[in-house]
Chain A
Amino acid sequence: MSRSGAVQLICVFLLIAFIGVSFFGREDTDKAAAEIAEAVTAQVSTEGLQEFGSERLFSQLGLSGEDFDSFVYYGSEDIMDVREILIIRGREDSDLDAVKAHIGKKAEEKYSTYKDYDPVASALLEKRVLEVSSGAIIYIVHDDAASGREAFLRCVED
């Protein structure tokens, strides 16, 4: 076998190994958004909230679900209910800070809208949690936002 033939063969083996690691090894290192959301919602009630898909994520926060590995988004159909739980598993760690800044800006705009209008909603928005850790983001507007944050950190850093 020629030298270049041998190199090709090695590349094929390495590719198979890489695919194998991508396929089987991934879940061991990175927890998907669903798994993190499960840990968070075990601590934070989702009563009155429902899970939404990409379209809602797009309309509420201007984020495209396609840009992330996975996400879970809870919100309310009631326009006056500002509670939200968003977990994002990022595809590119370096982009998460930009996504965080974007969500922060949207949250600030929402807070300004409700500030002098609905004291309950604005109080909830004031204690919102927005954090990036281990390649994932949590954004939570909820009475139990602090517990949600703790559950999130425990889960992703576990």
Chain B
Amino acid sequence: MVFSSATFLFLFLPFTLVLYHLKLFRNKERETGKKNLVLLIMSLIFYAWGEPVYIILMLLSIVYNYNAAIDIDSYIGSPKKKKLVFICALIFNLSVLGFFKYYGFLTESINSIFSLSLPVREIPLPVGISFYTFQVLSYIIDVYRGDVKAQKSIIPFATYISMFPQLIAGPIVQYYDVEKQLTDREVTAEKFAAGIMFFIKGLGKKVIFANTVGAVCTEIFGMETASLSVLTSWIGIICYTLQIYFDFSGYSDMAIGLGKMLGFDFIQNFNFPYKATSITDFWRRWHISLSSWFRDYVYIPLGGNRRGTARNIFNLLVVWSLTGLWHGAAWNFIVWGIFYGVLLIAEKYIFARVLERVPVFIRYIMTMVTVMVGWVFFSAENLSSAVNYLKSMFGLYGNGFADSTAEYLLSENFFSLAVMILCATGVFAALPRIKNFRFNIALMSAGYIVIFIICIIYLISETYNPFLYFRF
């Protein structure tokens, strides 16, 4: 089930909210317990709606990790036993992810490297596995380090892992961020209203912006790459750049909004990444929950920048190769990750002083061009398609700078692209606000109602609109 579907909007969500907010107990603790139970049951239904079989996998993960954490927590006096349980838990979780996500890729790579023909069976990727496995890993590692206590009750723990707002495409919520909220949270009218606004904002980003611009890049990516003019190729990748941002940040906004409606505060996952003026800055603003996860659980444990330059370079390359691999079991994702690793190393160790002297606007353009080149690897079906697309972007096919297709695409989409660029770069958000509070509220409410109605009109005419990040 996707958030931008009629089933979710008009059936699942209202039913869940009514059940969730139906007050049964006066005792706050018992009421929170009931809320957790409702949320858990509805989250399992949400997951089972699309993946009735893979719910078994998630339940196994919940039961195993719940017990493993309790064991880790209880072996305070015997570090060897504690370490053994911890390593077993890491192996368990990484095996699940490894098998379902990377089995096919590994077998195909072995076949191509060693000229073998091992049979490759098609095993569908369980939706959200990368996200919930990373949440479970953060919990197990935190318990092992002693940063958090093991959750003694399985219901709050299962609620944390399976919570439907962020189950399928993040943000990756670390346990210590919601530990307290799992047993003590409140939904005020203001928080609920803020949640609705976040949700509608995300829905609008997805349905109005991402789907619209996605249709343009679909059209361009479907053309013969060798026949594209330079401008057409750039329009294609600009559209994809906007699509992936609005699609993913839209989903995150909806997740954050749903969280607020249920009394949770999830961390911000995007902070206008397309106004970054360096690659380092970009990654502080894009998919913040994933970057934080890799920083806390891979980069810092590897030694971060505390063990000299050579080790720091190695650590960065490891982290970014894994970031690429996390996104997809294909070489183009690994190249995409290494591409960013190398750029970050270059920014840090080679160009740091030079970049300081470059005017901000030039730095901004350089950053955006680099990010778009990165998206070519990310969006391509394979490495050779990515290289071919880059060739057409830089005019290596000799098709000229612009052609009638580019002119047509620009004239048809200029206004919508301009609006989306202004929204994505935070220009609209930075406009001065009217100081009259009541007027502001009325204007915003009217705006959100209009956005919601437009989304519904779009959704009625187009039922197929999956999120790009579902496949990760």
Residues of A with Cβ closer than 8 Å to B?
2, 4-5, 7-8, 11-12, 14-15, 18-19, 22-23, 26-27, 32, 53-56, 58-60, 62-64, 66-67, 69-70, 91-92, 94-95, 97-99, 101-102, 105
Contact = CB atoms under 8 A, between A and B. Distances in A.
B350 interface: no
Contacts of A66: 471
Interface stretch (B119-127, B256-264, B403-411, B412-420): B119-127
Interface stretch (B61-69, B311-319, B448-456): B61-69
Interface of chain A: mostly helix, strand, loop or mixed:
helix
Given A8-B64, A18-B56, A62-B215, A94 B222 contact: no
Given A18-B60, A54-B381, A64 B466 contact: yes
A63 B462 CA distance: 13
Nearest to A16: B95
Given A12-B64, A60-B222, A70 B122 contact: yes
Q: Which of under 10, 10 to 19, 20 to 34, or 35 or more describes the interface residues of B? A: 35 or more
Contacts of B309: none
A98 B92 contact: no
Nearest to A69: B124
B296 interface: no
A66 to B, nearest CB: 5
A102 B462 contact: yes
B223 interface: yes
Interface of B: 1, 5, 49-51, 56-57, 60, 63-64, 67-68, 70-71, 85, 88, 92, 95-96, 99-100, 121-125, 127, 215, 218-219, 221-223, 381, 385, 462-464, 466, 470-471
8 contacts: A8-B67, A11-B63, A12-B64, A18-B56, A22-B123, A55-B385, A67-B470, A70-B122
Contacts of B71: 2, 4-5, 8
A70 to B, nearest CB: 5
B60 A67 contact: no
Contacts of A94: 1, 49-50
B464 A53 contact: no
Nearest to B468: A64
A12 B381 contact: no
A98 B67 contact: no
B51 A92 contact: yes
A59 B219 contact: yes
